[in-house]
Structure 1
Amino acid sequence: MTIEPGRPARMKYVLFDVDGTLIDAVSNQRRVWGTWAERYGLEAEKVYQVALRTRPMETFAQVAADRDPRQCLATLHELEDEDVRSGVYAAFDGATELLQGLPLGSWALVTSNYEHRVRGRFLRTGLPLPGVIVDAAAVEEGKPSPVPYLRAAEQLGAEPGDCLVIEDAPSGVRSGLRAGMTVWGVNTTVAVDGVHRHFVSLREAVPHILAFASGPGGDIAA
Protein backbone atom coordinates (compact mmCIF):
# COMPACT_ATOMS: atom_id res chain seq x y z
CA MET A 1 0.00 0.00 0.00
CA THR A 2 1.31 3.42 -0.97
CA ILE A 3 0.68 6.33 1.38
CA GLU A 4 0.63 9.82 -0.08
CA PRO A 5 3.22 12.14 1.50
CA GLY A 6 1.71 14.17 4.32
CA ARG A 7 -1.39 11.98 4.62
CA PRO A 8 -1.61 10.08 7.92
CA ALA A 9 -1.97 6.32 7.73
CA ARG A 10 -5.46 4.99 8.46
CA MET A 11 -5.68 3.17 11.76
CA LYS A 12 -6.45 -0.54 11.79
CA TYR A 13 -8.80 -2.15 14.32
CA VAL A 14 -9.20 -5.64 15.73
CA LEU A 15 -12.55 -6.94 16.97
CA PHE A 16 -12.50 -10.07 19.12
CA ASP A 17 -15.07 -12.65 19.98
CA VAL A 18 -14.48 -13.79 23.59
CA ASP A 19 -15.47 -17.35 24.47
CA GLY A 20 -13.46 -19.85 22.45
CA THR A 21 -11.30 -17.09 21.00
CA LEU A 22 -9.58 -15.33 23.92
CA ILE A 23 -10.89 -17.37 26.85
CA ASP A 24 -11.26 -21.16 26.97
CA ALA A 25 -14.76 -21.56 28.33
CA VAL A 26 -15.83 -24.83 26.67
CA SER A 27 -15.83 -26.89 29.87
CA ASN A 28 -17.67 -24.08 31.70
CA GLN A 29 -20.36 -23.86 29.05
CA ARG A 30 -20.80 -27.62 29.00
CA ARG A 31 -21.10 -27.71 32.80
CA VAL A 32 -23.61 -24.85 32.93
CA TRP A 33 -25.83 -26.36 30.25
CA GLY A 34 -25.49 -29.78 31.90
CA THR A 35 -26.74 -28.41 35.21
CA TRP A 36 -29.52 -26.53 33.44
CA ALA A 37 -30.62 -29.73 31.66
CA GLU A 38 -30.66 -31.69 34.91
CA ARG A 39 -32.98 -29.12 36.50
CA TYR A 40 -35.46 -29.63 33.67
CA GLY A 41 -35.10 -33.41 33.50
CA LEU A 42 -33.41 -33.34 30.09
CA GLU A 43 -30.44 -35.21 28.65
CA ALA A 44 -27.42 -32.96 29.16
CA GLU A 45 -25.45 -33.87 26.03
CA LYS A 46 -28.42 -33.43 23.69
CA VAL A 47 -29.16 -30.02 25.18
CA TYR A 48 -25.53 -28.95 24.90
CA GLN A 49 -25.31 -29.94 21.24
CA VAL A 50 -28.35 -27.76 20.47
CA ALA A 51 -26.97 -24.89 22.57
CA LEU A 52 -23.74 -24.93 20.55
CA ARG A 53 -25.67 -24.01 17.40
CA THR A 54 -28.37 -21.67 18.70
CA ARG A 55 -29.00 -18.69 20.95
CA PRO A 56 -30.55 -19.53 24.35
CA MET A 57 -34.17 -18.70 23.47
CA GLU A 58 -33.86 -20.82 20.33
CA THR A 59 -32.35 -23.63 22.41
CA PHE A 60 -35.28 -23.55 24.83
CA ALA A 61 -37.75 -23.67 21.93
CA GLN A 62 -36.11 -26.84 20.64
CA VAL A 63 -35.40 -28.75 23.85
CA ALA A 64 -38.02 -27.43 26.30
CA ALA A 65 -40.88 -26.10 24.20
CA ASP A 66 -43.38 -26.86 26.97
CA ARG A 67 -41.55 -24.70 29.54
CA ASP A 68 -41.74 -20.95 30.17
CA PRO A 69 -38.80 -19.54 28.15
CA ARG A 70 -38.44 -16.60 30.54
CA GLN A 71 -37.97 -18.95 33.47
CA CYS A 72 -35.60 -21.08 31.41
CA LEU A 73 -33.52 -17.99 30.69
CA ALA A 74 -33.58 -16.85 34.31
CA THR A 75 -32.27 -20.25 35.41
CA LEU A 76 -29.53 -20.16 32.79
CA HIS A 77 -28.47 -16.65 33.84
CA GLU A 78 -28.33 -17.75 37.47
CA LEU A 79 -26.07 -20.67 36.60
CA GLU A 80 -23.82 -18.59 34.33
CA ASP A 81 -23.39 -15.87 36.96
CA GLU A 82 -22.46 -18.48 39.56
CA ASP A 83 -19.95 -20.00 37.15
CA VAL A 84 -18.27 -16.62 36.65
CA ARG A 85 -17.88 -16.35 40.42
CA SER A 86 -16.69 -19.89 41.12
CA GLY A 87 -15.67 -21.55 37.85
CA VAL A 88 -12.12 -22.09 36.66
CA TYR A 89 -11.15 -20.09 33.57
CA ALA A 90 -8.03 -19.89 31.45
CA ALA A 91 -7.00 -17.45 28.75
CA PHE A 92 -5.71 -19.05 25.57
CA ASP A 93 -1.96 -19.02 25.15
CA GLY A 94 -0.88 -15.70 23.64
CA ALA A 95 -4.01 -13.76 24.65
CA THR A 96 -2.30 -11.57 27.25
CA GLU A 97 0.65 -10.76 24.99
CA LEU A 98 -1.69 -9.98 22.12
CA LEU A 99 -4.07 -7.65 23.96
CA GLN A 100 -1.25 -5.83 25.74
CA GLY A 101 0.53 -5.35 22.41
CA LEU A 102 -2.37 -3.68 20.59
CA PRO A 103 -2.47 0.12 20.34
CA LEU A 104 -4.80 1.85 22.78
CA GLY A 105 -8.24 2.33 21.30
CA SER A 106 -7.61 -0.07 18.43
CA TRP A 107 -9.58 -3.08 19.64
CA ALA A 108 -12.92 -4.15 21.06
CA LEU A 109 -14.79 -7.20 22.30
CA VAL A 110 -17.92 -8.41 20.52
CA THR A 111 -19.68 -11.14 22.47
CA SER A 112 -23.01 -12.94 22.60
CA ASN A 113 -22.58 -13.04 26.37
CA TYR A 114 -23.18 -10.17 28.80
CA GLU A 115 -20.66 -7.51 29.74
CA HIS A 116 -20.65 -8.19 33.48
CA ARG A 117 -19.69 -11.83 32.81
CA VAL A 118 -16.99 -10.84 30.36
CA ARG A 119 -15.54 -8.43 32.89
CA GLY A 120 -15.64 -11.15 35.54
CA ARG A 121 -13.83 -13.63 33.32
CA PHE A 122 -11.21 -11.10 32.28
CA LEU A 123 -10.62 -10.23 35.91
CA ARG A 124 -10.20 -13.92 36.73
CA THR A 125 -7.71 -14.47 33.91
CA GLY A 126 -5.81 -11.17 34.19
CA LEU A 127 -6.59 -10.04 30.65
CA PRO A 128 -6.78 -6.28 29.98
CA LEU A 129 -10.17 -4.83 29.07
CA PRO A 130 -10.80 -2.46 26.14
CA GLY A 131 -12.92 0.67 26.17
CA VAL A 132 -15.52 -0.87 23.85
CA ILE A 133 -17.49 -4.03 24.64
CA VAL A 134 -20.53 -4.89 22.54
CA ASP A 135 -22.55 -7.54 24.37
CA ALA A 136 -25.91 -9.27 23.97
CA ALA A 137 -27.73 -6.38 25.65
CA ALA A 138 -26.24 -3.77 23.32
CA VAL A 139 -27.91 -5.02 20.14
CA GLU A 140 -31.32 -6.33 19.13
CA GLU A 141 -29.82 -8.68 16.55
CA GLY A 142 -27.00 -11.00 17.59
CA LYS A 143 -24.54 -12.99 15.51
CA PRO A 144 -24.76 -14.05 12.67
CA SER A 145 -26.29 -10.63 12.00
CA PRO A 146 -23.63 -8.04 11.09
CA VAL A 147 -25.08 -5.64 13.67
CA PRO A 148 -22.77 -6.52 16.62
CA TYR A 149 -19.57 -6.01 14.65
CA LEU A 150 -20.88 -2.90 12.92
CA ARG A 151 -21.83 -1.47 16.31
CA ALA A 152 -18.29 -2.06 17.61
CA ALA A 153 -16.77 -0.38 14.55
CA GLU A 154 -19.08 2.59 15.01
CA GLN A 155 -18.10 2.99 18.66
CA LEU A 156 -14.40 2.83 17.72
CA GLY A 157 -14.88 5.34 14.91
CA ALA A 158 -13.70 2.74 12.41
CA GLU A 159 -14.68 1.89 8.86
CA PRO A 160 -15.64 -1.78 8.39
CA GLY A 161 -12.92 -2.20 5.78
CA ASP A 162 -10.30 -1.26 8.36
CA CYS A 163 -11.43 -3.94 10.82
CA LEU A 164 -10.14 -7.45 11.43
CA VAL A 165 -12.50 -9.88 13.17
CA ILE A 166 -11.06 -12.76 15.20
CA GLU A 167 -13.56 -15.61 15.63
CA ASP A 168 -13.83 -19.32 16.31
CA ALA A 169 -17.51 -20.00 15.55
CA PRO A 170 -19.47 -20.14 12.27
CA SER A 171 -22.11 -17.64 13.43
CA GLY A 172 -19.43 -15.12 14.40
CA VAL A 173 -17.58 -15.61 11.13
CA ARG A 174 -20.78 -14.94 9.18
CA SER A 175 -21.42 -11.86 11.30
CA GLY A 176 -18.00 -10.40 10.50
CA LEU A 177 -18.23 -11.21 6.81
CA ARG A 178 -21.68 -9.66 6.52
CA ALA A 179 -20.27 -6.54 8.18
CA GLY A 180 -17.77 -6.24 5.32
CA MET A 181 -14.73 -6.98 7.48
CA THR A 182 -11.68 -9.20 7.17
CA VAL A 183 -12.27 -12.35 9.24
CA TRP A 184 -9.64 -14.74 10.61
CA GLY A 185 -10.49 -17.97 12.38
CA VAL A 186 -8.57 -19.28 15.39
CA ASN A 187 -8.61 -22.27 17.74
CA THR A 188 -10.17 -24.72 15.30
CA THR A 189 -8.48 -27.66 13.58
CA VAL A 190 -10.52 -27.06 10.43
CA ALA A 191 -11.13 -23.62 8.94
CA VAL A 192 -14.66 -22.27 9.31
CA ASP A 193 -16.23 -21.61 5.93
CA GLY A 194 -15.61 -18.09 4.67
CA VAL A 195 -12.62 -17.06 6.80
CA HIS A 196 -9.90 -15.14 4.98
CA ARG A 197 -7.24 -16.87 7.04
CA HIS A 198 -7.16 -19.78 9.49
CA PHE A 199 -4.95 -20.49 12.50
CA VAL A 200 -5.10 -23.68 14.53
CA SER A 201 -4.36 -21.71 17.70
CA LEU A 202 -4.52 -18.14 18.93
CA ARG A 203 -0.80 -18.34 19.72
CA GLU A 204 -0.07 -18.99 16.05
CA ALA A 205 -2.13 -15.95 15.06
CA VAL A 206 -0.63 -13.45 17.53
CA PRO A 207 2.24 -12.04 15.41
CA HIS A 208 -0.02 -11.75 12.37
CA ILE A 209 -2.76 -9.91 14.30
CA LEU A 210 -0.20 -7.50 15.75
CA ALA A 211 1.20 -6.93 12.26
CA PHE A 212 -2.28 -6.14 10.94
CA ALA A 213 -2.85 -3.68 13.77
CA SER A 214 0.39 -1.89 12.99
CA GLY A 215 -1.38 -0.27 10.05
CA PRO A 216 -0.67 -0.09 6.26
CA GLY A 217 1.67 -2.81 5.15
CA GLY A 218 0.46 -5.05 7.95
CA ASP A 219 -0.19 -8.75 7.54
CA ILE A 220 -3.56 -9.03 5.80
CA ALA A 221 -2.88 -11.64 3.15
CA ALA A 222 -4.79 -14.90 3.18
Structure 2
Amino acid sequence: MSQTFTTRALLFDMDSTLVDSTAVVERVWTQWAAEHDLAAADVLAVIHGRQGHLSMAELLPHRSQEENLADNAVMLARELDELDGVVEIPGAATLLASLGDASHALVTSATLELATARMRAAGLAMPTAVVTAESVTRSKPHPEGFLRAAELLGVGPTDCVVFEDSAFGIEAGLAAGMRVVGVGPTAARHNPTWAVDDLTGTRVVPVPDGLRVTLG
Protein backbone atom coordinates (compact mmCIF):
# COMPACT_ATOMS: atom_id res chain seq x y z
CA MET A 1 0.00 0.00 0.00
CA SER A 2 1.40 3.41 -0.97
CA GLN A 3 1.96 6.15 1.62
CA THR A 4 1.65 9.90 0.94
CA PHE A 5 2.88 12.75 3.14
CA THR A 6 3.96 16.38 2.85
CA THR A 7 7.22 17.91 3.99
CA ARG A 8 9.45 20.88 3.19
CA ALA A 9 12.77 19.08 2.67
CA LEU A 10 14.20 15.64 1.96
CA LEU A 11 17.49 14.41 3.43
CA PHE A 12 19.18 11.40 1.84
CA ASP A 13 21.81 9.05 3.18
CA MET A 14 24.04 7.70 0.40
CA ASP A 15 25.28 4.12 0.80
CA SER A 16 22.46 1.56 0.48
CA THR A 17 19.93 4.41 0.25
CA LEU A 18 20.86 6.07 -3.04
CA VAL A 19 23.95 4.09 -3.98
CA ASP A 20 24.47 0.33 -3.83
CA SER A 21 28.12 0.04 -2.80
CA THR A 22 27.64 -3.08 -0.71
CA ALA A 23 29.97 -5.27 -2.78
CA VAL A 24 32.84 -2.77 -2.54
CA VAL A 25 32.35 -1.98 1.14
CA GLU A 26 32.13 -5.61 2.19
CA ARG A 27 35.12 -6.60 0.04
CA VAL A 28 37.34 -3.88 1.52
CA TRP A 29 36.24 -4.49 5.11
CA THR A 30 36.56 -8.26 4.77
CA GLN A 31 40.17 -7.72 3.73
CA TRP A 32 40.66 -5.40 6.71
CA ALA A 33 39.17 -8.04 9.03
CA ALA A 34 41.63 -10.63 7.77
CA GLU A 35 44.54 -8.23 8.31
CA HIS A 36 43.51 -7.84 11.96
CA ASP A 37 42.59 -11.48 12.67
CA LEU A 38 38.91 -10.64 13.07
CA ALA A 39 35.93 -12.61 11.82
CA ALA A 40 34.51 -10.95 8.73
CA ALA A 41 30.94 -11.49 9.95
CA ASP A 42 31.68 -9.63 13.20
CA VAL A 43 33.17 -6.71 11.29
CA LEU A 44 30.40 -6.46 8.69
CA ALA A 45 27.80 -6.47 11.45
CA VAL A 46 28.95 -3.11 12.86
CA ILE A 47 30.38 -1.00 10.02
CA HIS A 48 27.29 0.21 8.17
CA GLY A 49 25.96 3.72 8.65
CA ARG A 50 28.79 5.41 10.52
CA GLN A 51 32.36 6.61 10.04
CA GLY A 52 34.93 3.83 9.75
CA HIS A 53 37.18 4.92 12.61
CA LEU A 54 34.27 4.54 15.04
CA SER A 55 33.73 0.97 13.92
CA MET A 56 37.45 0.34 14.32
CA ALA A 57 37.33 1.72 17.86
CA GLU A 58 34.61 -0.77 18.73
CA LEU A 59 36.32 -3.70 17.04
CA LEU A 60 39.85 -2.91 18.30
CA PRO A 61 39.27 -1.17 21.65
CA HIS A 62 42.94 -1.38 22.62
CA ARG A 63 44.03 0.95 19.80
CA SER A 64 44.44 4.70 20.07
CA GLN A 65 42.20 7.13 18.21
CA GLU A 66 45.22 8.25 16.20
CA GLU A 67 45.81 4.69 14.98
CA ASN A 68 42.16 4.30 14.03
CA LEU A 69 42.09 7.60 12.15
CA ALA A 70 45.26 6.69 10.26
CA ASP A 71 43.90 3.23 9.41
CA ASN A 72 40.61 4.78 8.34
CA ALA A 73 42.46 7.03 5.89
CA VAL A 74 43.99 3.94 4.31
CA MET A 75 40.56 2.33 4.06
CA LEU A 76 39.12 5.42 2.37
CA ALA A 77 41.90 5.32 -0.20
CA ARG A 78 41.08 1.68 -0.93
CA GLU A 79 37.40 2.48 -1.34
CA LEU A 80 38.19 5.33 -3.73
CA ASP A 81 40.19 2.92 -5.88
CA GLU A 82 37.40 0.32 -5.96
CA LEU A 83 34.31 1.69 -7.69
CA ASP A 84 33.50 -1.27 -9.93
CA GLY A 85 30.06 -2.53 -9.07
CA VAL A 86 28.84 0.75 -7.55
CA VAL A 87 25.33 1.32 -8.96
CA GLU A 88 22.21 3.23 -8.07
CA ILE A 89 19.57 1.86 -5.75
CA PRO A 90 16.59 1.22 -8.08
CA GLY A 91 14.63 4.43 -8.54
CA ALA A 92 17.32 6.76 -7.12
CA ALA A 93 18.29 8.49 -10.38
CA THR A 94 14.69 9.14 -11.36
CA LEU A 95 13.83 10.45 -7.91
CA LEU A 96 16.81 12.82 -7.68
CA ALA A 97 16.24 14.10 -11.22
CA SER A 98 12.62 14.87 -10.37
CA LEU A 99 13.53 17.07 -7.40
CA GLY A 100 14.93 19.97 -9.40
CA ASP A 101 15.15 23.00 -7.11
CA ALA A 102 13.20 21.34 -4.31
CA SER A 103 14.94 21.44 -0.93
CA HIS A 104 17.03 18.32 -0.49
CA ALA A 105 20.45 17.35 0.82
CA LEU A 106 22.87 14.44 1.00
CA VAL A 107 23.86 13.43 4.54
CA THR A 108 26.55 10.75 4.55
CA SER A 109 29.25 9.37 6.82
CA ALA A 110 31.55 9.20 3.78
CA THR A 111 34.06 11.92 2.99
CA LEU A 112 33.19 14.45 0.31
CA GLU A 113 35.73 12.87 -2.05
CA LEU A 114 34.30 9.38 -1.61
CA ALA A 115 30.69 10.58 -1.80
CA THR A 116 31.42 12.45 -5.03
CA ALA A 117 33.14 9.41 -6.55
CA ARG A 118 30.36 6.99 -5.63
CA MET A 119 27.54 9.28 -6.72
CA ARG A 120 29.29 9.79 -10.04
CA ALA A 121 29.95 6.06 -10.46
CA ALA A 122 26.27 5.37 -9.86
CA GLY A 123 25.22 8.07 -12.34
CA LEU A 124 23.50 10.21 -9.72
CA ALA A 125 23.35 13.98 -9.46
CA MET A 126 25.00 15.39 -6.35
CA PRO A 127 22.66 17.66 -4.38
CA THR A 128 23.81 21.24 -3.85
CA ALA A 129 23.54 20.83 -0.08
CA VAL A 130 25.89 18.13 1.21
CA VAL A 131 26.87 17.07 4.72
CA THR A 132 29.82 14.66 4.83
CA ALA A 133 32.26 13.32 7.40
CA GLU A 134 34.20 16.59 7.28
CA SER A 135 31.08 18.60 8.14
CA VAL A 136 30.39 17.12 11.57
CA THR A 137 32.14 16.33 14.82
CA ARG A 138 29.84 13.43 15.75
CA SER A 139 28.88 10.60 13.42
CA LYS A 140 25.56 8.78 13.19
CA PRO A 141 23.72 7.67 15.31
CA HIS A 142 24.18 11.21 16.64
CA PRO A 143 21.71 13.53 14.87
CA GLU A 144 24.28 16.28 14.15
CA GLY A 145 24.52 15.55 10.42
CA PHE A 146 20.78 15.73 9.82
CA LEU A 147 20.41 18.83 11.98
CA ARG A 148 23.25 20.45 10.03
CA ALA A 149 21.50 19.65 6.74
CA ALA A 150 18.25 21.20 7.98
CA GLU A 151 20.20 24.32 8.92
CA LEU A 152 21.80 24.49 5.47
CA LEU A 153 18.38 24.25 3.84
CA GLY A 154 16.83 26.81 6.19
CA VAL A 155 14.10 24.53 7.51
CA GLY A 156 13.23 23.16 10.91
CA PRO A 157 13.93 19.52 11.82
CA THR A 158 10.24 18.64 11.93
CA ASP A 159 9.93 19.92 8.35
CA CYS A 160 12.43 17.32 7.08
CA VAL A 161 12.01 13.69 6.07
CA VAL A 162 15.06 11.43 6.08
CA PHE A 163 15.70 8.52 3.71
CA GLU A 164 18.00 6.00 5.43
CA ASP A 165 18.84 2.31 5.40
CA SER A 166 20.94 1.53 8.48
CA ALA A 167 20.12 1.20 12.16
CA PHE A 168 22.53 4.03 13.02
CA GLY A 169 21.12 6.31 10.32
CA ILE A 170 17.48 5.68 11.20
CA GLU A 171 18.26 6.27 14.86
CA ALA A 172 20.00 9.55 13.97
CA GLY A 173 17.08 10.79 11.88
CA LEU A 174 14.54 10.02 14.58
CA ALA A 175 16.78 11.60 17.23
CA ALA A 176 16.84 14.77 15.11
CA GLY A 177 13.05 14.95 15.43
CA MET A 178 12.50 14.00 11.80
CA ARG A 179 10.31 11.42 10.13
CA VAL A 180 12.28 8.64 8.47
CA VAL A 181 11.73 6.50 5.39
CA GLY A 182 13.64 3.25 5.85
CA VAL A 183 15.05 2.05 2.52
CA GLY A 184 15.94 -1.58 1.85
CA PRO A 185 14.80 -5.07 2.79
CA THR A 186 15.99 -4.85 6.41
CA ALA A 187 15.21 -1.20 7.19
CA ALA A 188 11.81 -1.92 8.75
CA ARG A 189 13.56 -3.77 11.59
CA HIS A 190 14.86 -0.44 12.89
CA ASN A 191 11.45 1.19 13.36
CA PRO A 192 11.44 4.00 10.78
CA THR A 193 8.26 5.99 10.23
CA TRP A 194 7.72 4.22 6.90
CA ALA A 195 9.66 1.56 4.98
CA VAL A 196 10.20 0.75 1.30
CA ASP A 197 12.24 -1.94 -0.43
CA ASP A 198 13.86 0.62 -2.76
CA LEU A 199 13.07 3.99 -4.37
CA THR A 200 11.15 2.62 -7.34
CA GLY A 201 7.79 4.33 -7.48
CA THR A 202 8.67 7.10 -5.02
CA ARG A 203 7.32 10.36 -6.43
CA VAL A 204 7.69 13.99 -5.34
CA VAL A 205 5.35 16.80 -6.41
CA PRO A 206 5.70 20.48 -5.37
CA VAL A 207 2.68 21.78 -3.46
CA PRO A 208 2.02 25.21 -1.87
CA ASP A 209 3.27 24.13 1.56
CA GLY A 210 6.31 22.19 0.36
CA LEU A 211 6.54 18.74 -1.20
CA ARG A 212 4.03 15.95 -1.51
CA VAL A 213 5.82 12.60 -1.42
CA THR A 214 4.26 9.30 -2.41
CA LEU A 215 6.12 6.13 -1.54
CA GLY A 216 5.68 3.36 -4.08
TM-score range relative to shorter protein: 0.7 to 0.9
1:60 pairs with 52, 56, 61, which one? 56
In structure 1, C-alpha distance between the alignment counterparts of 2:153 and 2:191, rounded to whole Å: 25
Highest CA radius of gyration, 1 or 2? 1
Q: Aligned residues: percent identity?
A: 32
Partner of 1:21: 17
Which has the larger strand fraction?
Answer: 2
Deviation for aligned residue 1:33: 0.9
Matches within 5 A, 1:67-106: 67-88=63-84, 89-106=86-103
Normalization by structure 2: what TM-score? 0.84
Structure 1 pair 84/214, CA: closer, same or farther in 2 (3 Å)?
farther
Structure 1 pair 214/32, CA: closer, same or farther in 2 (3 Å)?
farther
Partner of 2:132: 135
Whether 1:188 and 2:185 are equivalent positions in the alignment is yes
Which has the larger helix fraction?
Answer: 1
Deviation for aligned residue 1:26: 1.4
1:50-93 CA-to-partner distances (Å, cap 9, x unmatched) read 32486534433333234444334323322332322333211111
How many residues align structurally? 208
Answer whether contact 1:105 1:130 (CA < 8 A) is retained.
no
Q: Which has the higher contact order (CA 8 A, sep 6+)?
A: 2
Answer whether contact 2:13 2:107 (CA < 8 A) is retained.
yes
Partner of 1:157: 154
Which stretches in structure 1 are left out of the alignment for 5+ residues? 1-9
Which stretches in structure 2 are left out of the alignment for 5+ residues? 1-5
Normalization by structure 1: what TM-score? 0.82
Structure 1 pair 95/118, CA: closer, same or farther in 2 (3 Å)?
same
Between 1:81-90 and 1:66-75, the stretch displaced more is 66-75
